[in-house]
Amino acid sequence: MLVNRLIQSVLLATPILCSDGFYKLDFDVRKGFNLTEVVDDFFKGIGDAIGDTLEDVGDLLGKRENGSQQVPLTNERAFYITTLKIGSDASDVRVLLDTGSADLWVMSSKNSYCTENGGSMNCDQYGTYNEDNSTTFSKNDTEFSIQYLDQTFAKGTWGQDTIELTSSLILKEGNLAVADETDSNVGVFGIGYKSLESAQDKYDNIPIQMKQQGFIEKICYSLYLTPAESEKGSILFGGVDHAKYTGELVKFDIVPINGVVRHFQIPLNDLTVNLITPVQSATTTASTLVSSPSPHPTIALIDDTINQLFGKNSKRDDNVITLNTNGLFDSGTTLTYLPQAAVDSLISKIAPGASYNSNLGGYQVPCSLRQEGNSVSYNFDNKKSIEVPLSDLVMIAGRDSMNQQQCMLGVVANDDHTILGDNFLRSCYTLFDLEDNTVSIAQMKYSDDEDIEVIH
Ligand SMILES: *[C@@H]1O[C@H](CO)[C@@H](O)[C@H](O)[C@H]1NC(C)=O
Ligand SMILES: *[C@@H]1O[C@H](CO)[C@@H](O)[C@H](O)[C@H]1NC(C)=O
Ligand SMILES: *[C@@H]1O[C@H](CO)[C@@H](O)[C@H](O)[C@H]1NC(C)=O
Ligand SMILES: *[C@@H]1O[C@H](CO)[C@@H](O)[C@H](O)[C@H]1NC(C)=O
Domain match, 223 and 256 both: no
Checking if the pLDDT of 332 tops 80, the result is no
Domain final residue pick, 223, 239, 255 = 239
* Residues β-bridged to residue 322: 270
| Residue 162, number of CB atoms within 10 A of its CB | 19
Rounded to an integer, the average pLDDT of 15-21 is 56
Alpha carbons 7 and 348: distance in angstroms, whole number: 50
| Contacting residues for 294 by C-beta, under 8 A, at least 6 apart | 347, 353, 354, 355, 356, 363
* Strands 265-274, 232-237: pairing kind: unpaired
45-59, 155-169, 366-380, 385-399: lowest mean pLDDT where?
45-59
Rounded to an integer, the average pLDDT of 261-290 is 75
**Ligand number, closest to the Cα atom of 198:** 4
Q: Please report the pLDDT score of residue 140 as a whole number.
A: 93
**Ligand number, closest to the Cα atom of 90:** 3
Protein residue whose Cα sits closest to atom 5 of ligand 4? 203
**In angstroms, what is the span from residue 221 Cα to ligand 4's centroid?**
25
The residue among 117, 132, 124 whose CA lies nearest residue 185 is 124
Whether 245 is in a domain gets the answer: yes
Checking if the pLDDT of 326 tops 50, the result is yes
Q: Does 126 or 52 have the greater pLDDT score?
A: 126
45-49, 107-111, 197-201: lowest mean pLDDT where?
45-49
The residue among 279, 268, 222, 200 whose CA lies nearest residue 453 is 222
Catalytic residues: 98, 330
Domain match, 129 and 275 both: no
Domain final residue pick, 195, 213, 239 = 239
Domain match, 314 and 440 both: yes
Q: Does 304 or 362 have the greater pLDDT score?
A: 362
**In angstroms, what is the span from residue 160 Cα to ligand 3's centroid?**
19
Task: Please state whether the predicted TM-score (pTM) of the whole model is above 0.85.
Answer: no
The residue among 258, 219, 221 whose CA lies nearest residue 237 is 221
Checking if the pLDDT of 416 tops 70, the result is yes
Domain match, 82 and 194 both: yes
Checking if the pLDDT of 58 tops 70, the result is no
Rounded to an integer, the average pLDDT of 282-307 is 42
Pocket probe mutation, ligand 4, options 201, 208, 209, max atoms within 8 Å of Cβ = 201
Give buried/exposed letters for 242-277 (b at 16+ CB in 10 A, else e): bebbeeebbbbebbeeeeebbbbbbbbbbbbbebee
Domain match, 159 and 253 both: no
Q: Please report the pLDDT score of residue 75 as a whole number.
A: 54
Domain match, 372 and 256 both: yes
Domain final residue pick, 212, 239, 266 = 239
The residue among 286, 271, 230, 273 whose CA lies nearest residue 369 is 273
7-21, 156-170, 285-299: lowest mean pLDDT where?
285-299
Domain match, 31 and 170 both: yes
Q: Please report the pLDDT score of residue 35 as a whole number.
A: 52
Q: Please report the pLDDT score of residue 295 as a whole number.
A: 42
Q: Please report the pLDDT score of residue 360 as a whole number.
A: 63
Shortest-distance atom of ligand 2 to CA 62: 13
Whether 5 is in a domain gets the answer: no
Q: How confident is the model at residue 14 (pLDDT cuts 50, 70, 90)?
A: very low
Q: Please report the pLDDT score of residue 37 as a whole number.
A: 53
Protein residue whose Cα sits closest to atom 7 of ligand 3? 133
**Domain at 188, CATH number:** 2.40.70.10
Domain match, 188 and 315 both: no
Whether 405 is in a domain gets the answer: yes
Helix (H) or strand (E) holding 174: strand 169-182
Alpha carbons 393 and 36: distance in angstroms, whole number: 26
Long-range contacts of 40-45 (CB under 8 A, 24+ apart): 40/185, 42/81, 43/125, 43/126
Domain match, 89 and 54 both: yes
Most confident region among 15-24, 32-41, 57-66, 377-386 by mean pLDDT: 377-386
54-58, 408-412, 440-444: lowest mean pLDDT where?
54-58
Checking if the pLDDT of 294 tops 70, the result is no
Q: Please report the pLDDT score of residue 167 as a whole number.
A: 87
Checking if the pLDDT of 382 tops 90, the result is yes
**In angstroms, what is the span from residue 37 Cα to ligand 1's centroid?**
6
**Ligand number, closest to the Cα atom of 85:** 3
* Residues β-bridged to residue 411: 336
Domain match, 191 and 48 both: yes
Q: Please report the pLDDT score of residue 408 as a whole number.
A: 87
Protein residue whose Cα sits closest to atom 2 of ligand 4? 158
- 202-223: pLDDT as tens digits: 999 999 999 999 999 999 999 9
Checking if the pLDDT of 7 tops 80, the result is no
In Å, how far from its chain's centre is CA 316?
Answer: 31
Whether 262 is in a domain gets the answer: yes
Rounded to an integer, the average pLDDT of 425-443 is 98
Question: What average pLDDT does the chain have?
Answer: 80
Q: Which amino acid is at 283?
A: T
Domain match, 417 and 272 both: yes
Rounded to an integer, the average pLDDT of 130-153 is 88
Protein residue whose Cα sits closest to atom 10 of ligand 2? 66
- Its domain, for residue 192, covers 10-239
- 75-121: pLDDT as tens digits: 566 778 899 999 998 889 999 888 888 999 999 999 999 999 999 98
Q: Tell me if 135 sits within 8 A of 96, measured CB to CB.
A: no
Rounded to an integer, the average pLDDT of 281-294 is 41
Q: Please report the pLDDT score of residue 293 as a whole number.
A: 41
Structural domain count, the chain: 2
**In angstroms, what is the span from residue 62 Cα to ligand 2's centroid?**
7
Q: Residues with Cβ within 6 A of ligand 2?
A: 62-63, 65-66
φ, ψ (nearest 5 deg) of residue 189? -115, 90
Domain match, 33 and 14 both: yes
Protein residue whose Cα sits closest to atom 9 of ligand 4? 201
Most confident region among 48-52, 75-79, 121-125, 247-251 by mean pLDDT: 247-251
Alpha carbons 261 and 439: distance in angstroms, whole number: 12
Checking if the pLDDT of 52 tops 50, the result is no
